[in-house]
C-alpha cells in the first residue's frame, strides 16, 4: 500500500476497542467537526455497546493516518460527506462498505 497520505487528514474519535485490538473497526460515522483539527469521523468497533461508548474514557483521539494503519479500507472513505453512516463488511475475504440506513453497498 502506498504510504503517501494527505498531510491534512486531521484527527478523529476511535473506540478504544479498536485501538486496543479487542474488536474490529465496523461502524464509520461522519459528524460535524467539533474543533479545527477534528475531521468529523467517528469509528466504532463490532463489539461496542451504547453503554461502553457513553464513557469518555473508552474513546481515543487519533490522527486519521493511524486509523488507516489499523484498517486500510478507510482510506477510500475520507472524502465522504457529513452525515455518512456506513459499516465495513468482511465476507469471503473481501471488504466493502454498506450504507447502514439502506443496506446498499457503496
Concatenate the DSSP letters of all residues of 42-94 into one string.
EEEETT--HHHHTSGGGEEEEEHHHHHHH-GGGGGGTTPPTT-EEEEEEETTE
Distance (Å, rounded) from C-alpha 13 to C-alpha 73? Answer: 17
SS3 category, 1:
coil
- Give per-residue pLDDT as tens, 49-103: 999 999 999 999 999 999 999 999 999 999 999 999 999 999 998 999 999 999 9
Going from N- to C-terminal start, the domains of the chain cover: 11-99
pTM equals 0.90
pLDDT at res. 19:
97
* Ramachandran sector of residue 48 (left: φ over 0; alpha: ψ -120 to 50; beta: rest): beta
Distance (Å, rounded) from C-alpha 57 to C-alpha 94? Answer: 32
| Over residues 8-29, mean pLDDT | 96
Q: Which residues pair with 30 in a beta bridge?
A: 41
- Give per-residue pLDDT as tens, 20-53: 999 999 999 999 998 889 999 999 999 999 999 9
Amino acid at each position: 500500500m502506498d504510504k503517501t497520505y494527505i498531510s491534512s487528514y486531521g484527527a478523529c474519535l476511535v473506540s478504544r476497542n479498536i485501538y486496543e485490538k479487542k474488536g474490529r473497526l465496523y461502524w464509520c460515522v461522519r459528524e460535524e467537526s467539533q474543533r479545527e483539527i477534528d475531521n468529523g469521523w467517528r469509528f466504532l468497533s463490532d463489539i461496542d455497546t451504547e453503554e461502553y461508548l457513553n464513557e469518555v474514557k473508552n474513546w481515543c483521539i487519533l490522527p486519521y493516518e493511524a486509523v488507516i494503519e489499523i484498517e486500510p479500507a478507510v482510506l477510500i472513505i475520507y472524502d465522504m460527506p457529513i452525515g455518512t453512516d456506513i459499516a465495513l463488511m468482511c465476507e469471503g475475504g473481501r471488504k466493502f462498505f454498506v450504507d447502514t440506513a439502506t443496506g446498499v453497498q457503496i
